[in-house]
């Protein structure tokens, strides 16, 4: 296992990346731009894709800094089927075991960049692959279309004062959420992470350095990125990280799904999002409500960013509007348990 000196080195490297990003004028530490893909409409149908650019570690590597820490593999994370202990709203959920897929079955992803195509209001969108095919790899982007249930998720790259009002709104509505964290957020905001756990939310894995994981094909490198998050989370909270993995930038391929599954994770994409990540161009309240209320649908996995000033300001009202439309909020444990 890692020594404390290794952890100190990793944290100093994370701080160096943070400072470098600030000097270059980028938004989130450890990211060149932001986490989410830019929304675009296609000619064939009103579609939405979330485009995110990824962290570039070339300079640090050239200076001899190893930004991907190597830790001993934790066999207990692999397919043991043990239920996790969780508090509050987030129910215990078993880690997935790799499935025996049908003979001749081959998952085809239309793109390594997760994208969506929308139809009529309050109808489920189409993803890069069908929900049924993705489920063979314990991967999900939406739930049952017969229930007006929403699964709230937040990607957490860094903190700029909006996470607390988001948590306040969730608490007011008794709405469980999943927060997907990167290494920098864990290093700099341990108290917020503890609050997430104490208030019954799940904390999932967004990788340590927010890399383009679709470019990683070997298990050791992939495992380092997710295992480092899990280890630091356990050191902070004394608890095991929830078994949910969200690919940075939505970049993913079949090999990634296989590796995440083997490491004991459910891969979680999304079916509802909007361009909320750009701090220099935050959507107005009207724009946010328009996208998030006209495109909401039964079984939606909602992706929001904790860095958004708009989200911090509107979430209480947004949850109220969704409730008025007949929606309720459930933890991801209910989504993944419906196999």
- In the residue annotation, 6 being an active-site residue is answered as no
**What are the φ and ψ backbone dihedral angles of 47, each rounded to 5 degrees?**
-115, 165
First to last CA, the chain: 35
Which class for 179: exposed (0-12), middle (13-18), buried (19 or more C-beta within 10 A)?
buried
- Token pair belonging to 302: 């909602």
The CB-side HSE value for 243 (13 A sphere, CA atoms) comes to 30
- Widest pairwise Cα distance in the chain: 55
Q: How do 115-117 and 47-49 pair as beta strands?
A: antiparallel
Burial 310-322 (b: 16+ CB within 10 A, else e): bbbbbbbebbeeb
User: Among this protein's residues, is 209 annotated catalytic?
Assistant: no
Q: Kind of pairing, strands 266-268 and 244-245?
A: parallel
Token output for 189: 């905001």
Q: How far is CA 43 from CA 47, 117, 124, 230, in A?
A: 9, 11, 19, 42
Burial class (CB in 10 A: 0-12, 13-18, 19+), 168: middle
Of 54, 113, 138, 155, catalytic: 155
Catalytic entry in 138, 210, 297, 305: 305
Q: Mind telling me the catalytic residues?
A: 155, 305
């Amino acid at each position: 296992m890692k020594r404390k000196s290794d952890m100190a080195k990793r944290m100093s490297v994370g701080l160096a990346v943070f400072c470098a990003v600030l000097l270059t004028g980028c938004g989130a530490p450890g990211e060149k731009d932001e986490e989410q893909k830019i929304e675009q409409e296609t000619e064939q149908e009103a579609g939405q894709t979330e485009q995110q650019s990824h962290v570039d570690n070339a300079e640090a590597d050239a200076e001899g800094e190893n930004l991907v820490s190597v830790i001993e593999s934790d066999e207990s994370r692999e397919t043991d089927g043990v239920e996790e202990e969780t508090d509050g709203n987030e129910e215990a959920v078993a880690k997935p075991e790799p499935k025996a897929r049908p003979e001749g079955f081959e998952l085809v992803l239309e793109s390594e960049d997760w994208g969506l195509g929308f139809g009529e209001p309050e109808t489920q969108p189409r993803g890069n692959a069908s929900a049924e095919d993705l489920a063979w790899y314990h991967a999900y982007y939406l739930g049952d279309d017969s229930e007006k249930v929403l699964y709230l998720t937040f990607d957490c790259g860094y903190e700029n004062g909006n996470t607390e009002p988001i948590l306040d709104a969730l608490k007011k509505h008794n709405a469980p959420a999943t927060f997907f964290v990167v290494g920098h957020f864990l290093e700099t905001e341990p108290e917020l992470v503890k609050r997430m756990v104490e208030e019954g939310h799940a904390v999932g894995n967004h990788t340590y350095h927010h890399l383009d994981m679709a470019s990683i094909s070997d298990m050791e490198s992939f495992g380092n990125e997710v295992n480092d998050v899990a280890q630091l989370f356990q050191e902070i909270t004394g608890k095991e990280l929830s078994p949910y993995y969200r690919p940075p930038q939505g970049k993913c391929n079949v090999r990634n799904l296989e590796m995440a599954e083997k490491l004991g994770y459910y891969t979680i994409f999304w079916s509802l999002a909007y361009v909320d990540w750009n701090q220099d161009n935050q959507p107005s309240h009207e724009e946010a409500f328009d996208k998030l209320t006209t495109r909401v649908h039964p079984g939606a996995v909602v992706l929001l960013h904790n860095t958004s000033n708009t989200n911090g300001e509107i979430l209480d009202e947004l949850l109220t509007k969704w409730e008025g439309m007949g929606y309720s909020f459930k933890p991801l444990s209910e989504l993944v348990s419906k196999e």
